[in-house]
Amino acid sequence: MVECVEAQFDLTPECLTGDTVYGTAHMLVWMVEEKNIEPHMPMWEMIERKDDSLSNNDFHWNPEVNEYCCPAGKPLRSERRIFAQKR
């Protein structure tokens, strides 16, 4: 919507108000860093989920190995992958 208004009317907002749908981290980074728009909306936090999915609080930080562990105690690794067989 912001880009459509910019393209059609050559208008750029200084601030933007919205509901939690627009309060995701990705959207807020886009507004602040790419569009220089001041956001006025609640953050969309998924800390405590009410559905059957895991929430942020279900994972635990292990500072000794610098990684998070899932509720089953297995490490979450985003930067390295360990294969059972050498490839």
Please choose, from the candidates 35, 36, 43, 45, the residue with its C-alpha nearest in 3D space to the C-alpha of residue 18.
43
Share of the chain above pLDDT 70, in %: 85
**Identity of the residue numbered 63:** P
Tens-place pLDDT, residues 65-76: 888 898 898 888
Q: Which of 9-18, 21-30, 47-56 has the lowest mean pLDDT?
A: 47-56
Residue 40 phi, psi dihedral angles, 5° rounding: -130, 80
Confidence at residue 9, expressed as pLDDT on a 0 to 100 scale: 92
